[in-house]
A and B are shown apart, each in its own frame.
Chain A
Amino acid sequence: MVEVVKGALSLGLLWAIMTIGVYITYRILSIADLTVEGSITLGAAIAAHAISSGMNPYLGTLIALFGGMAAGLCTGLLHTKLKIPALLSGILTMIALYSINLRVMGKANISLLRMENVYTVFENMGLEPTWATITLGAMSVLVIVCLLYWFFGTELGCAIRATGNNPYMVRAQGINTNTMIIIGLIISNGLVSLGGALIAQNQNFSDIGMGTGSIVIGLASVIIGEVLFGKRNFFMRLLSLVFGAITYRIIIAFVLKLGMHSNDLKLFTAITVAIALALPMIKDFVNPPKISIGEGEQDA
C-alpha cells in the first residue's frame, strides 16, 4: 500500500513536469497542442541516446530540454508563419518527430539498465531508488513552478496569458501575438521533453511508443488538479497541476490493483477525460442553470 503510493508519487512528480507543459498550451494559450506526444518521446530519446553513449546524464537531460523547445518552435512557426491551424501544426510536428526520434535512438528502444543517470547521485547518498526519484522530482517541480510563477507575472508573461485569452485586444495593445504563441509553445514543449527525459531515466528505458496518449494523460492531470485542488491564484493553480498529476498516478495504481489490465489504461484515461470535459454540460443538463440578473454587477 505504502509502496503503491510511493511509486505513484515518484511517477506523478515526473509527469507533473509534462502536465505543466500541457497546461501552458491548453489553458494559457487555449491551444490543444499535440506536439507533446512527440516531444515527450524526443526527450526520452535524446536522454537515452546521450546516456548510453556515455554522456553526463545531466547534460543529456539539458539537451533533451532544448530538443523539446525546438519542437515547440517548429509547431509555432507552422502555425503562425504558414497559418496552419494549431491542431494540425501540432500533428505535423508530432508525426515528423516519430521519424526523428527513431533517428535519435537508432532503433525502437534503448535500455538504460545499470547506467548512470540523474538519480544515481541521490542513490549514492543512500536513498533507495524511489526516494531518489521523489527527491529529484520534487526539486525539479518546485524550481519549475517558482520559475513559471515569476515568468507569467512579468510583462512578457502577462502578454502571453492575454494572448490566449483575447488576441484582438492583445494586438490592439501593440503585442505581436504570433511571437507570444511561439514562446508559449517553446516553453511548453521544452518542459514536456524534460519530463520525458526524466521519465525514461526513471523507467530505465526509452521507447518510440511512450508518447502515445500522453496528451490525454496530461489533460487528465490538469483537469483532476483543477477539480480537486481549485484554481484560486496562479501559484495554487500551478501546484494543483502537480497534485493532479500525482492523483492521476494514484488512481491508475489503484485501478491496476483492482485488476484492470494495463492495456486498458488508455481507454480508461480517455473515458475519464471525456467525462471530465463534459461535466459542465452534464451539470447543466441535470440541473439547468437559473437565470440570475445582475450577477457580479454589485456596483454598476
Chain B
Amino acid sequence: MLRIDGVYKVFNPGTVNQKTALRNVSLTMKEGDFITLIGGNGAGKSTLLNCIAGVYGVDKGSINIAEVDVTKLTEYKRAAFLGRVFQDPMMGTASDMILEENLALALRRGKARGLRWGISNKEREVYRELLSHLGLGLEHRLNVKVKLLSGGQRQAITLLMATLNKPKVLLLDEHTAALDPKTASIVLDLTERLIHENGLTTLMVTHNMRDAIRYGNRLIMMHDGRIFLDIQGEEKKKLTVEELLARFGSASGQEFSYDRALLS
C-alpha cells in the first residue's frame, strides 16, 4: 500500500545549518498494517510523514502509494491518497468555519471542487450519524464554529475528517500529544476504532512507548534519520518497554535517552 525506497532528506543543504533528517529510509506497508513509529526528538519521524504527504520533496529515493509513484506529486495532489492528523489541534480544521463545512471539505478530499452547493442535506444526515458515534455530543453542533470546540473535540473531528473519504494511508503525527491524558486516551481509542472499522493502513507517530506497544501490529523505531527497529507479529505482541529499550540500545549502540517516553 505504501512503499518508501531509499529516501534521503537534507534540510538547508550547503549551509552551516545543513541537516540530514532522513538517511536511506526504506519501508513497505501492507494493506491494513497499523504501524506505530517511535523515536527521540529530532529522529526524523515528522520529516518522514511530511515527505510521504509531500510537504517536502525528497532528495533521493522514491515513494509509492497504492502502486502510484507520488515522489514528484505536490502535496495537494497526494492528498487524494492520504488522511492526516497533526500534533497541533489547530492545524487540522478551518477554525472560522462551522463544523459541517469542515466535514464537507474533507468529504470531497481529492475531488475537483465545482459550483455545486458546498453541503447537501443528505450529507448532513451522514455527518450527524458519524458524529454521534464519537460520543462527544457533536452531532448537535454542526453549525458551531470549530474554534469554539476543545482541543480533544477538534482532534476527534480531524480524525473523522481524515477517514471520511477512506484514505489509502492514514498518517498520524503525535495527534494526542497536545491533549491532557484523559482526552488523549479517548482520542486514541477512537483512533483505533476508526482504523479497525475502516480497515485503514496507518502510520502513527507517538512519543509514548506503552502506546506504541499497545496499538498496531507493527512497531518501528527511528533514530538520527534511520529506521533502527522493525518489530511485528507475535514478537510485537509480547514486547515490553524494558525489552524495547534494551533492543534500541543494542541496535543503535546508544542508550535511549528520552525521558518523556519513560515517564508514562
Chain A: residues with CB nearer than 8 A to chain B?
151, 153-159, 161-162, 165-166, 168-177, 296-297, 299-300
Is B75 touching A171 in the complex (CB atoms < 8 A)?
Answer: yes
* Residue in B closest to A157 when the chains form the complex, CB atoms: B118
* Residue in A closest to B158 when the chains form the complex, CB atoms: A169
- Of B15-23, B136-144, B206-214, the one contacting chain A is B136-144
Known: A154-B118, A175-B76. A170 touches B148 (CB 8 A): no
Q: What bracket does the count of chain B residues touching chain A fall in?
A: 35 or more
Q: Kindly identify which residue among B93, B97, B115, B138 contacts A161, using a CB–CB cutoff of 8 Å.
A: B97
Chain B: residues with CB nearer than 8 A to chain A?
53, 74-77, 79-80, 82, 84, 86, 90-97, 101-102, 104-106, 108-111, 113-118, 136-138, 140-141, 148-150, 152-153, 161
- Which secondary structure dominates where chain A touches chain B? helix
A to B CB contacts below 8 Å, 7 in the list: A161-B97, A169-B91, A171-B75, A172-B109, A173-B109, A176-B74, A299-B141
- Chain A residues within an 8 Å CB radius of B80: 174
Is A159 touching B97 in the complex (CB atoms < 8 A)?
Answer: no
Q: Kindly identify which residue among A151, A155, A165 contacts B96, using a CB–CB cutoff of 8 Å.
A: A165
- Chain A residues within an 8 Å CB radius of B77: 174
Complex Cα distance A172/B96, Å? 17
Q: Kindly identify which residue among A165, A169, A174, A299 contacts B92, using a CB–CB cutoff of 8 Å.
A: A169
- Which secondary structure dominates where chain B touches chain A? loop
- Chain A residues within an 8 Å CB radius of B149: 296-297, 300
Is A154 touching B94 in the complex (CB atoms < 8 A)?
Answer: no
Is B114 touching A174 in the complex (CB atoms < 8 A)?
Answer: no
- Chain A residues within an 8 Å CB radius of B115: 151, 154-156
Q: Kindly identify which residue among A158, A162, A174 contacts B79, using a CB–CB cutoff of 8 Å.
A: A174
Is A165 touching B97 in the complex (CB atoms < 8 A)?
Answer: yes
- Chain B residues within an 8 Å CB radius of A153: 117-118
Complex Cα distance A175/B116, Å? 16
Known: A155-B104, A175-B76. 19 other contacts (CB 8 A): A154-B116, A155-B115, A155-B116, A158-B97, A158-B113, A159-B105, A161-B94, A166-B90, A166-B91, A168-B86, A169-B94, A169-B105, A173-B108, A173-B109, A174-B80, A175-B113, A176-B76, A297-B150, A300-B152
